[in-house]
Structure 1
Amino acid sequence: AHAGAAARGDELLLSFTWRHLASLALQEGELAEARHGFAESLRIREELGYLVGTAPALISLAEAEPEPEAARLRA
């Protein structure tokens, strides 16, 4: 799905696939990879103006960040 979204230029779908891949990375303890994926998802959603998806992206990114950055993202 991720490669297909990138190939088609479907930015909204790409934001979702980045978030799901990042969730998998987080479950596997790959924090740097998780942060990257969550940050990409957030970046795309902000660029698209997809406001309803911005809050979940911030919360997801906070899960992969250490304090106090995690608290700042949740606020």
Structure 2
Amino acid sequence: MELQRIQLSNQAPLFGLCPAASNRINTIFMSTYFAGGTLGTFLSGAAWAHFGWPGVVAAGALLSAASLSLTLLSGK
């Protein structure tokens, strides 16, 4: 249930951009959401296979830093 609330809070601002294109916006959002989850799973699995828990933690820290950087550079 909590994840649904988080997902809806992430989607809500996007639907305000162009209400007439809500289906297309949702398709892009869900495709990007899936691709991000897939990439995170792949990277954490590869990190685990090569470096164990320290590698998984490092991969998580790098992905978090990349997300923070994108947020700061976007000016939001």
TM bracket, shorter-chain basis: 0.3 to 0.5
Bigger-Rg structure (1/2): 2
Higher relative contact order (CA 8 A, sep 6+): 1
TM-score for the superposition, normalised by structure 2: 0.33
Normalized per residue, the structure richer in helix is 2
